Chains A and B, each alone.
Chain A
C-alpha cells in the first residue's frame, strides 16, 4: 500500500514535470491551472439540491428557479475563479539565504495580465502561504519563506499558487516549478579554538590585538565598509561618510582554515568556520578563508561576511 502510494506520487510528479516544466518565468494558462470545488462549494451545491427537492415537492417553480440560480452561480464561479488565476505570470526573483535549519526567503514576482487578480495565495512546499493581489498590468514582489534543511543550494520545490476568489466555492491552483533555489549557510556551531592562522604568528595572537593597529587616516566610505569603522564624529560635523583607515599589520590578517579542524566531520567543520566568521565579523576583524576547494582573501565588512558565508555554503558541492 505504501509502495503503491509512492509510485502514485512519482507518477504524479512525472506528469507534472511534463505538463509544467521548470522555468524561471511561467504564465498560467488552462494547461497549468487545476480547479476543484472547496468544501463550501459542496455545501453550496447541497443547499441547491435541497431547494430543488423542495421545489419539486412543493410544486414551487420559484424555489426551483432559485436552486437553478445557485447552480448557475456555481458554474459562473468556475469561470471567475479560473480567470482569477489565468494570465498571472510568475517570475523567479531574488533570494535571501539563511542558515541551515532556519528559514530563507525567495522572491517571486507576480505580474498581472489584462485584468486584476485578487487574493492569490502563494507558498513553497511546507511553508506558510502569503496573500497578494495584482492590479492589471502591475507587478507585485513577494518574499516567500523557505524552510532550509541542509547546507548548500536548495531547490525550492514547486510553488503552489492558489485562489478561491471570488466566492470561495472553488479553488483553482497551479504547481509551478520556478527553478528557484535558496542558499543555506552552514548552521553556526559555537565553541572550539578559532581555526585561524594570522600570518607568521600563531592563532592565539589575535586576542591581544586590541588597539594595536595604528590609525592611518580617513577615506570616503565605500559600500561594504564596516559601519564600525565609519568616522561618525566627522559625519556629525557634516563632512560626509568617511571610513577610518588603520594600518594593516600582518598580524591582523586571519585565515580561517578548514584544515585546522582535525578530527571533526566535514559538515561540522563548515559549521565551526561559519561560527567563527560570524564572531570575527562581529569583532570587526579581518579574516580570510581557506577551504579545500577555494579560498577568500582577507577583508572585513558585510560584503566579506556574505562572501565567506556563500563559499562556506557552496563548498564541497563541486563547481559551486
Chain B
C-alpha cells in the first residue's frame, strides 16, 4: 500500500477543532450514544496523528459503520428524515476521520464538515447559533487552508487568519446573493417537519389545553405597529374560532352545507358576497401593523378585529380570521390593516344560526341549561341576558387558576355550580354554552390576548402564555360582538397580563429558573434587548421571503423581472469582486515600524502639517534643522527631541525603554506647542521681490 497521507502538523489542530465544532450542536441535541461515540472517535484520530495508533483497517471500520447505522435505527427507528439522517451523517463523518489514507480523504472530510455544520440550521435558527456557525466555518476552512500548505513548521494561526480573512471578504457577496437571488417556492414537499411538534393553538380545545400553553414562554409572534399601539384591553389577537361543541371539546368545523370556496376567500380567487360587502363597508383602517410569526406548523394567522392582509398566500375566512394557504414551516411575516367595524351586514343566514346555537343533544348539563332558559325568559333582550350573566361571573366566587380540578361528565354544570375554579377556557366554554342554551348564536375565539411592549423596537412581543380564548355572540343589529368572561372574573388578566392575574390568586405561570429570572430588573432589560435583536433577525433574515424580496427590489429596480434580477446580481456581485481583486493586488503592506520609528513619523507628519517642507527620508538632524528655521521658538525642544531620538535609535542598548519612550513623546508635544508663530522664511527675498 502507498504511504499513508499525513495531515500536516500545523493543519491537524484545525481539522480536529473543526470536526468537533461541526458536530457539537448535534451531540447536544442528538441521542446519548452519539455524544459518546463522536468524542471517542476524535480522540482516537488524535492518537493516530500522534503516531500512537495506526489507522484502523477495513475490518474495524466496516463493523463500526454497521454499528452506527444500527444505533441510529435503534434511536430513531429509521435512517431517513432530518433527525435520523443528521445523526447518521454526524456519526459517519466522525468515522471518516479514521479513514484518511490520502489527501483526497482529508478534502472530503473537511467539505463534509461544512455540510454537517449547515445541518444545524435545520434545528436552530437564532442569531447566536448563526454566529457560532460562522466561527466554526472559519475553523473548518482553516483546516482546508492547512492541508493546502504542505510546508512544515508553519504557524497554524496563519491558516486561521487566511480563512477568517476569506470569510470576511465572502460576507458582502453572500449578502448580495441573499438579497438578490430569486426565492422560489419549495421544489417538492419534503415532509421534513412531520416529527416536529406543532406549536401554539390547535384546531380544537378541551379543558386544560390553553392552560398547558400558558406554561410556555416561547414566542408566538411579534407585532410592529405603524402608528399607535392599541392599549392592552384592545389587544385581542384572533386566530381561529370554534363553532362545534360536543359536550367537552370545542372544535373548528364547518356545517356540511357550506362550501369552502364561499367560506374562505384568497386573493386571485373567487370573491364571495360577504367579502364584497365587507370591502364596501370598510372605512379607514384603525391599525396598520406587521406580524412576524414563528414556525407553528399550522395555518392560522393572528390579527385584530377585521383584518385584511396584502399577502398573496393569505386568505380571509367568513369568521374574520386570516388563514395561510400552507402550514407555517418557517418564520413568516405579513402586513395587516385592521378595521374596527360592525359586521352586522354580513348577515346571519339560517344555516349559520343553526350551527352557532347547536348543542349536544342528550340533555347534558341540565342545571346550566335550565338557568339559561329561565334567565333569558326574564330578560328584556339578549343584551340584558348577557350583562346579567357576566355580572354573575363577576360576583360569584369564581377563581382564576392555572390548576383547575378535573371535570366529569357534565363539564359546564360541574364548573359553574361546583368547582368554580378555572382558566379562560373554562369561562369561555361555559359562557358560550349558556348563550347557546338561551338561543343566542355564539362561538369561541381562540388566539392571544395582550403582549409585552418592547420599548427598544416599539414592538409587541406575544408569547405562548398570552394564549387566550373568549366568546363572540351574534346580537341583532350589531353583528358579532366580543365578550370576555375571563375579564369579568379576573380583569387584571386583560389589563396587565397573565402573571399579574395569577399573582392575585397566588400562582405563577412560569416555574423554575425562567420564572425566578423574570423578576430581576437586569435580566428583564437584557431579555428586552435580546428580544429586540431577535425581532430584527426574524424580520430581516428569517422572514425574508419571495414577497419581501419583490417589495424590496421593486424599490430599486422598478419592475422586477428575472432578467433584471440576474443583471443586478451580476452587476453588484461583479463590482464587489472587482473591488476586492484590486484591493488584494494593489494593497502594499507598509512595513511595520517600531515605536521610535512611529514617533519619528509622527514628528514629520506634524511638521509637514504646519507647512514645513520635508522631503522623505531625512535624518532627524536634518528635520530639526529645517524645522528650526521655520519655527525658531521651537528650536530648543526640537534639539532636545533629536538628542533623545538619536539616543534611542542609534544606541545599542537602552536600559529603560519606557522612560525614554515617554520622554520622546513629551518632547514631541512640547515641540507641537511651540509651533504657534511661524516666521517667514527668507524675509530678504520677500523684500527684494517687493522692491
A residues neighboring B (CB under 8 Å): 40, 43-44, 47, 50-51, 53-54, 56-73, 75-77, 79-80, 82-83, 86-87, 114-115, 118-119, 131, 133, 136, 164-168
Contact = CB atoms under 8 A, between A and B. Distances in A.
Contacts of B183: 56
Given A47-B114, A58-B122, A68-B178, A76 B148 contact: no
A49 to B, nearest CB: 11
Given A51-B118, A69-B170, A136-B589, A79 B577 contact: yes
A70 B183 CA distance: 18
B261 to A, nearest CB: 27
B187 A164 contact: no
8 contacts: A69-B167, A71-B174, A76-B170, A79-B577, A118-B151, A166-B145, A167-B141, A167-B144
Given A43-B108, A79-B577, A114-B588, A57 B121 contact: no
A58 B115 contact: no
A40 B121 contact: no
B108 A59 contact: no
A176 to B, nearest CB: 20
A18 to B, nearest CB: 25
Nearest to A80: B166
A73 B178 CA distance: 14
Given A69-B174, A119-B148, A136-B589, A58 B192 contact: yes
A72 B170 contact: yes
Interface residues of B, number: 60
Contacts of B148: 119, 164-168
A72 B174 contact: yes
A59 B330 contact: yes
A73 B147 CA distance: 17
A20 B585 CA distance: 21
A76 B166 contact: yes
B111 interface: yes
B581 interface: yes
B347 to A, nearest CB: 39
Interface string B165-194: 011011101100110010111111110110
B18 to A, nearest CB: 13
B374 interface: no
Contact of A62 (B162, B173, B541): B541
Interface string B313-353: 00000000000000001110000000000000000000000
B150 A47 contact: no
Interface in B581-609: 581, 584-585, 587-589
A69 B121 CA distance: 14
A56 B187 contact: yes
A68 B144 contact: no
B580 interface: yes
B121 A168 contact: no
Given A56-B186, A119-B151, A65 B541 contact: yes
A57 B141 contact: no
B133 interface: yes
Contact of B122 (A60, A61, A167): A60
B122 A63 contact: yes
B504 interface: no
B125 interface: yes
Given A43-B108, A72-B173, A57 B584 contact: no
A41 to B, nearest CB: 10
Contacts of B542: 61-62
Given A62-B542, A114-B588, A118-B149, A76 B330 contact: no
Given A66-B118, A168-B107, A58 B166 contact: no
B544 interface: yes
A315 to B, nearest CB: 43
B478 interface: no
B111 A40 contact: yes
A40 B102 CA distance: 14
B188 A69 contact: no
B130 interface: yes
A69 B184 contact: no
Given A56-B187, A60-B122, A166-B162, A75 B173 contact: yes
Contacts of B167: 69, 73
Interface of B: 107-108, 111, 114-115, 117-118, 121-122, 125, 130, 133, 137, 141, 144-145, 147-151, 162-163, 166-167, 169-171, 173-174, 177-178, 181, 183-190, 192-193, 329-331, 541-545, 573, 577, 580-581, 584-585, 587-589
A166 B167 CA distance: 12
B544 A61 contact: yes
Contacts of B121: 60, 62-63, 66
Contact of B192 (A44, A56, A57, A114): A57
Contacts of B170: 69, 72-73, 75-76
A128 to B, nearest CB: 14
A142 to B, nearest CB: 14
Nearest to B584: A83
B187 A53 contact: yes
Count chain B CB atoms within 10 A of each CB in A47, A59, A69, A87 and give the residue with the most: A59
A76 to B, nearest CB: 5
Given A51-B115, A114-B589, 20 more contacts: A40-B107, A44-B111, A47-B114, A56-B185, A58-B122, A60-B122, A61-B178, A68-B178, A69-B171, A71-B174, A72-B177, A79-B580, A79-B581, A80-B166, A83-B585, A119-B148, A119-B149, A133-B151, A166-B144, A166-B145
A136 B133 CA distance: 33
Contacts of B130: 62
A61 B166 contact: no
The 10 closest A-B pairs by CB, nearest first: A72-B173, A72-B170, A68-B177, A59-B330, A62-B121, A168-B148, A72-B174, A73-B170, A69-B174, A66-B118
B373 to A, nearest CB: 52
A167 B114 CA distance: 13
Contacts of B177: 68, 71-72
Given A76-B169, A79-B577, A165 B329 contact: no
A32 to B, nearest CB: 15
Contacts of B329: 58-59
A46 B431 CA distance: 60
B166 A166 contact: yes
A121 to B, nearest CB: 9
Contacts of B174: 65, 68-69, 71-72
Contacts of B118: 51, 54, 63, 66-67
Contacts of A87: 585
A77 B121 CA distance: 24
Contacts of A77: 166
Contacts of A56: 183-187
B173 A165 contact: no
Nearest to A166: B145
B330 A60 contact: yes
A115 B586 CA distance: 10
Nearest to A83: B584
A56 B189 CA distance: 10
A75 to B, nearest CB: 6
Contacts of A67: 118
Nearest to B145: A166
Given A57-B187, A66-B118, A73 B141 contact: yes
A47 B174 CA distance: 16
A115 B589 contact: yes
A87 B584 CA distance: 12
A77 B263 CA distance: 56
